[in-house]
């Protein structure tokens, strides 16, 4: 498969904010992307009424509506304060308060506004099932019509070194995970685009999950390397710093290991449609890299 000459456009970025440290990290990345792509950034907070049991004691419809309005006003004030505390030069986000369940409201908002990218935080690392199954980020990632960048935390922090230049976050190394299927075509386009925008290094990785015999290792690795080299046409390579890597083992383990060794700032992965994510929620390579990896993961549907 050779990548078709298509450059993704990022004109509108949506970043859900729940005032946690996780959404603060996600917001840093959203600001940086908005700055580099000169995109509009929308910070959205969802008021979830089920989190306010006192609503059940509202005596009248008027009391209920007044209380809901108070919640929205309070949320707007908190969101303004959050954005003030995390302000960055050159990016002035638009804020929005929505009411409903978080996943549905985020998806609806992104769909109506025709978002090109959703950037949101992952809440902790408490095991694959507890982290992913039913989580807000998981549901958004499975159903969003645009790519989703999931941010947990970074084991190496490049933010501090670029604060002097008024950037929120910088990407130095980007890792693209290739399985040589059409499913990863769009994910590679986004990886190339980010590599160019940030003047970063792009590493193309393929993992052989079935170990060849010792006598075949060299030949199999060489063949995979040739396939990696063919992913990007020569004219698209101009001005880009691209290297390749072929590893043998469990894909998620090898991806994470390389991400740690090379201090990767972003992993780009293609996913095989929404149904496949539902069916493979346990043991999914993508989910395990998101859960256990050291950096944000960009998931792109085919």
Length of the chain: 302
C-alpha distances (whole Å) from 15 to each of 123, 168, 188, 275 are 15, 14, 22, 25
Asked if 85 and 251 touch (Cβ cutoff 8 Å), the reply is no
Largest CA distance in the chain: 78
Q: What is the pLDDT of residue 130?
A: 46
CATH assignment of 8-170?
3.40.50.620
Cα atoms in the 13 Å half-sphere on the side-chain side of 183: 15
Residue 278: what pLDDT? 46
Compute the distance between CA of residue 190 and CA of residue 128 in angstroms, rounded to an integer.
Answer: 26
Please tell me what DSSP assigns to residue 100.
S
pLDDT of residue 81: 95
Burial 235-256 (b: 16+ CB within 10 A, else e): ebeeeeebebbbbeeebbbbbb
Nearest to 151 by CA among 181, 127, 183, 117: 117
Give the H/E segment covering residue 241: strand 241-248
Q: What's the start-to-end Cα distance of the chain, in Å?
A: 14
| Spatial distance between the Cα atoms of 228 and 117, rounded to a whole number of angstroms | 26
> Hey, what are 281's tokens?
């929620």
Cβ atoms of residues 110 and 144 within 8 Å: yes
How many CB atoms lie under 10 A from the CB of residue 195? 23
pLDDT, residue 164, reads 45
What order do you get walking across the sheet with 173-177 strand by strand?
A: 94-99, 40-47, 12-16, 117-121, 148-151, 297-301, 266-271, 173-177, 201-208, 241-248
Cα 282 versus chain centre, distance: 19
Asked if domains 8-170 and 171-302 share a fold, the reply is yes
pLDDT of residue 231: 95
pLDDT mean by block of 10 residues, the chain; 302 residues: 69 95 92 95 89 56 77 94 88 93 95 97 58 70 92 58 53 94 88 96 94 90 95 92 96 96 95 54 73 92 78
> Looking at residue 223, what is its pLDDT?
95
- Give the model's pLDDT for residue 221: 95
Instruction: Show the tokens assigned to 62.
Output: 């008027």
pLDDT at 255: 96
Tell me if 48 sits within 8 A of 106, measured CB to CB: no
d(CA 93, CA 27): 10
CA distances, 5 to each of 32, 93, 177, 186, 196 (Å): 25, 31, 19, 11, 14
Hey, where are the domains in the chain?
8-170, 171-302
Rounded CA-CA distance 116/129 in Å is 28
The pTM score is 0.87
By C-alpha distance, which of 201, 182, 194, 207 is closest to 268?
194
What is the pLDDT, as a whole number, of residue 180?
87
Under 8 Å between Cβ of 49 and 21: no
pLDDT of residue 203: 98
Q: Which CATH class is domain 171-302?
A: alpha beta
């Amino acid at each position: 498969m050779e990548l078709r000459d298509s450059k993704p456009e990022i004109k509108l970025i949506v970043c859900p904010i729940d005032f946690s440290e996780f959404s603060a990290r996600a917001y840093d990345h959203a600001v940086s992307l908005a700055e580099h792509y000169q995109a509009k950034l929308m910070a959205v907070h969802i008021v979830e009424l089920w989190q306010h049991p006192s609503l059940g004691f509202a005596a009248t419809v008027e009391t209920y509506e007044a209380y809901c309005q108070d919640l929205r006003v309070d949320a707007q004030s908190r969101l303004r304060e959050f954005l003030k505390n995390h302000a960055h030069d050159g990016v002035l986000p638009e804020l929005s308060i929505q009411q409903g369940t978080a996943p549905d409201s985020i998806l609806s908002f992104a769909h109506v506004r025709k978002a090109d990218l959703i950037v949101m935080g992952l809440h902790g690392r408490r095991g694959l099932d507890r982290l992913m199954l039913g989580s807000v980020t998981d549901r958004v990632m499975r159903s969003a019509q645009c790519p989703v960048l999931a941010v947990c935390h970074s084991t190496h922090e490049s933010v501090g070194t670029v604060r002097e230049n008024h950037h929120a976050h910088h990407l130095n190394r980007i890792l693209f995970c290739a399985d040589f299927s059409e499913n990863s075509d769009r994910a590679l386009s986004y990886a190339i685009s980010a590599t160019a925008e940030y003047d970063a290094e792009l590493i193309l990785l393929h993992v052989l999950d079935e170990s060849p015999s010792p006598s075949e290792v060299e030949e199999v690795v060489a063949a995979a390397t040739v396939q990696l080299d063919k992913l990007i046409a020569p004219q698209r390579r101009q001005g880009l710093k691209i290297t390749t890597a072929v590893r043998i083992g469990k894909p998620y383990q090898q991806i994470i290991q390389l991400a740690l060794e090379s201090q990767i700032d972003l992993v780009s992965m293609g996913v095989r449609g929404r149904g496949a994510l539902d069916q493979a929620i346990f043991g999914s390579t993508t989910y395990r890299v998101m859960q256990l990896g050291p950096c944000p993961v960009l998931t792109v549907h085919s």
